[in-house]
Amino acid sequence: MGEFVNLNYLYNVHHEIPLGYLISVYFFYTGLSAGSFLLSSLSSVLGIKKYKPIAKIGTVMALSLLVIAPLHLIVDLEQPARFWHLFVYFNPTSPISYGSFLLTAYPIMTAIYGWFMFRKDFAIGAKQLSNWRGKLYRFLSFGKLDTSEESFQKDQQRVKLLGMINVPLALLVHGYTGFILANVQARGIWNTALMPFIFLMSAVVSGTGLLLILTMLAERFLSREKRITEERKELIFDIAKMMVWFILIDAVLLIVDFIVLFYAGTNAYETAWQMLHGEHQVSFLLYEVTIGLLIPFIMFAIPKIRKSYTGITVASLMTLFGVMAMRMNFVVGGQQLQLDGNGWNEYIPNPTHLAFIFTFAALEIILLAVLFYVLPITDEKDRYVDSESKANIKVKRSTKTISIQE
């Protein structure tokens, strides 16, 4: 009989990281959409009138972000032509299947909600404007040109009703992303009930930050006054004050989450350790925590900075940067620890995916710019005076001035 020899082979298999930067950016876009919509609904749903000027801006933001966000998912499929499979082959036990329908219902409901919000402007503009804008508004009114006060009141009632439906949809659309991650038991940093709330709160922070920036730009360049009025200034400063609490709640959730991770299983502890001391230390502590949370919190907490347009802009941009870093840290970083806990997979982003991410970002900026220019997003008393009417007004005013001088 020959002697038996036991041979042990030790080898490491490189595992792909399926959820990369495309998915992280998708989460970022849906968060911006949900956050901006929730803030804009304060007037239409809760009836807080002082927030009415941002209702249209937030709605346009939410809808335009939802147009671009799904493109990241389609590209990530590698076979984009098969995206419709998610709707045909429904899996009742899969959160992604429900998410596909939520991601479809939410933008549709947002578009209907936005149409009723703008219908008054479309109807009046279609009747009073003779330029290209008037023709566009006539088309967008879909023949609903009733300008009676009763019709406007009905529109507001419908806006409130649709808003009450759409607010839960906004919460579900972004909350389900955290819910998907929380249900992956093999990934300790994801497998916590706090994950949906962390995603939602960071969405409110980033959505409010972008809303502040776009509101200042809209009032400065698109309003009739071409400046930020005292009324709008107070509104912007009020929202900036709210950011202190949004950031604080987001930070508290993050701290509690890491306390839980350090007392959880080996995978959770090791991933949290990597965030604080290892591979993701710079990305987490510097980008996400310091730049994205700590510095903006201090800036928004100081009244002098909070009441400065420059200060608000810089702090808001920092929150956007920090939330983007958070999406990448949690989504990509959560997959880099090997399941046996004995290694850290390196993530090298696909250059093609990076090209798509920057292309989609450019498309989003262009789409926002076009919509903000075309749609009546600012409240003005004489918005519907076209160029010919303005010329007549100027002539009348000059004639009146001459007669007074005589």
pLDDT tens for the chain, 406 residues long, are 556 566 555 555 556 778 889 999 999 999 999 888 888 888 888 888 888 889 999 999 999 999 999 899 888 887 777 777 777 777 777 777 777 788 888 889 999 999 999 999 999 988 888 889 889 999 998 888 888 889 889 999 999 999 999 888 888 887 777 888 887 777 878 888 888 899 899 999 999 999 999 999 998 888 787 888 888 899 999 999 999 999 999 999 999 988 888 887 777 888 888 888 888 889 899 999 999 999 999 999 999 999 999 999 999 999 999 999 999 988 888 887 776 666 677 888 889 999 999 999 999 999 999 999 999 887 654 455 544 444 444 444 444 444 444 4
Residue given tokens 């100081």 in the structure block: 302
Are 330 and 354 within one domain? Answer: no
Coil/strand/helix, residue 265:
coil
Which domain does 35 fall in, by range?
A: 18-186+350-376
Are 85 and 31 within one domain? Answer: yes
Q: What is the C-alpha separation between 4 and 13, in angstroms, rounded?
A: 28
Q: What is the C-alpha separation between 236 and 228, in angstroms, rounded?
A: 10
| Nearest residue to 36 via CA among 157, 152, 166 | 166
| Nearest residue to 367 via CA among 104, 59, 60 | 60
Residue given tokens 């991410």 in the structure block: 357
Per the document, the length of the chain is 406
Are 179 and 38 within one domain? Answer: yes
Are 250 and 170 within one domain? Answer: no
Phi and psi at 398, nearest 5°, equal -70, -40
Q: What is the C-alpha separation between 227 and 328, in angstroms, rounded?
A: 37
User: Per the domain annotation, does 51 fall within a domain?
Assistant: yes
Coil/strand/helix, residue 264:
coil
Q: 344 has which bridge partners?
A: 337
Residue given tokens 């219902």 in the structure block: 105
pLDDT recorded at residue 3: 61
User: Per the domain annotation, does 119 fall within a domain?
Assistant: yes
User: Per the domain annotation, does 382 fall within a domain?
Assistant: no
Are 238 and 315 within one domain? Answer: yes
Q: What is the C-alpha separation between 342 and 301, in angstroms, rounded?
A: 43
Angle at the Cα of 317 from the Cα atoms of 320 and 76, rounded to 5 degrees: 35
Q: What is the C-alpha separation between 260 and 194, in angstroms, rounded?
A: 10
Q: What is the C-alpha separation between 252 and 244, in angstroms, rounded?
A: 12
Are 59 and 174 within one domain? Answer: yes
| Nearest residue to 235 via CA among 115, 118, 111, 379 | 379
User: Per the domain annotation, does 393 fall within a domain?
Assistant: no
User: Per the domain annotation, does 170 fall within a domain?
Assistant: yes
Phi and psi at 337, nearest 5°, equal -75, 125
User: Per the domain annotation, does 239 fall within a domain?
Assistant: yes
Structural domains counted in the chain: 2
pLDDT recorded at residue 148: 87
Are 111 and 157 within one domain? Answer: yes
| Nearest residue to 42 via CA among 27, 63, 57 | 57
Q: What is the C-alpha separation between 342 and 265, in angstroms, rounded?
A: 14
Give me 224's structure tokens: 């009739």
Give the distance, in angstroms, between the CA of residue 382 and the centroid of all CA atoms in the same chain. 31
Q: Using CA atoms in the order 61, 62, 68, 70, what is the torsion angle rounded to 10 degrees?
A: 170
Give me 333's structure tokens: 């970083």
Helix, strand, coil percentages for the chain (3-state, nearest 5): 75, 0, 25
pLDDT recorded at residue 204: 92
pLDDT recorded at residue 391: 45
User: Per the domain annotation, does 392 fall within a domain?
Assistant: no
Q: What is the C-alpha separation between 39 and 214, in angstroms, rounded?
A: 13
Are 308 and 358 within one domain? Answer: no
Q: What is the C-alpha separation between 380 and 398, in angstroms, rounded?
A: 23
Are 219 and 332 within one domain? Answer: yes
Q: 337 has which bridge partners?
A: 344
User: Per the domain annotation, does 75 fall within a domain?
Assistant: yes
